[in-house]
Structure 1
Amino acid sequence: MIQQTTDALEWVQQRGAGSLAEKMGIEFVEFTIERAVARMPVEGNTQPAMLLHGGAYVVLGESLGSMAANLHAGPGRLAVGIEINATHTRSATSGFVTGVCTPVHLGRTLTTHEIAVTDDQGRRCSTIRITNLIKELTNRPEAQDPRLEKRPGINLEG
């Protein structure tokens, strides 16, 4: 079982999830290797019919899945999305949606996460699946970003 040795949620909150996630009001509320949770308001993220925009679900899912993959990758490595898909099963019209991200596969070079997005009543609205490629940062411009090296360490315990 994988156990965290430091506070991953604090790392995520300090690093941030990028300007798009911030503009959409995404807030991380729980973050471990095994489970990451974030919420996003419906208001401000709707399409013309006042339903949560389908792309907004995907932004929430990619924000969760990418951050979770980067936590798994650890210092000196960067996880980048290579595939994402979503199945929308219900429309959210008000309140917040909550995404719960769990790993399907945590490998040395690839990760796959599933994100279940529910409305305030706990009804599933969308299911997102994201695959990330883990790259070494050696001699890459991204390697100079100090935020990447502040990732919490993980301890693999069997």
Structure 2
Amino acid sequence: MHNTLMEALQMEVKEKSKDLVTIAMPVTGNVKQPVGFLHGGATVALAETAASIGGMEHVDTRSQAIVGMEINCNHLKAKKDGVIVAKATPVHIGKRTMVWNIHVEDEHGELVAISRCTLGVINQ
């Protein structure tokens, strides 16, 4: 994932399958808002990345790609340090669209955010 947002934000895939994708991201200065808390946009980027990687497990990547169509995110807990982990699971896997639920937890297993992402399946 060289020269990608994943690299810039130090995201690390921990688990990848058709049914579950788990990605960790450290809460560093690169992902904080000016007052020192985890930026909501970084959390959303992590959530969409986890869903997208899961979506790629369901398509032929030689001829198809996954793109984000819509994402929502409820931020439930502020973080200033540590690690957050996105766990994405599929709700709907269709030929043209997919819907994924993503729970974002901290290193203690506490819920930081919950998100739902709709993906589009496109031809390359």
Higher strand proportion (structure 1 or 2): 2
- CA deviation vs aligned residue, 1:30-84 (integer Å, no higher than 9, x gap): 0000000000011121112211100010010111111111221223111111111
**Equivalent position of 2:57 in the other structure:** 71
Cα separation, partners in 2 of 1:18 and 1:86, compared to 1, 3 Å: farther
AA aligned opposite 1:32 = S
Select 2:48's aligned residue among 62, 78, 98.
62
* Matching residue within 6, 11, 31 for 2:16: 31
| Aligned AA (2:51) | G
Do the aligned partners of residues 69 and 108 (structure 1) sit closer, same or farther apart at CA in structure 2, a change above 3 Å counting? same
What SS is found at the alignment partner of 1:73? Answer: coil
Give 2:37's aligned residue: 51
Pick the structure with greater CA Rg.
Answer: 1
Identity %: 31
Match of 1:122 in 2: 109
- Give the distance between the partners of 1:17 and 1:32, measured in 2 at CA: 21
TM-score by length of 2: 0.92
TM-score (norm 1): 0.73
Instruction: Trace 1:8-157 onto structure 2 (pairs within 5 A).
Output: 16=1, 19-44=4-29, 45-75=31-61, 76-137=63-124
Deviation at 1:121, TM superposition (A): 1.3
Give the RMSD, CA atoms, in angstroms: 1.3
CA distance in 2 between counterparts of 1:17 and 1:106 reads 28
Structure 1: distance between partners of 2:75 and 2:3 = 24
Q: Any unmatched runs of 5+ in structure 1?
A: 1-15, 138-158
* Rounded Cα–Cα distance in structure 2 between residues aligned with 1:132 and 1:17: 23
Larger % of helix: which? 1
- Runs ≥4 in structure 1, deviation > 2 angstroms? none
The one-letter code matched in structure 1 to 2:34 is P
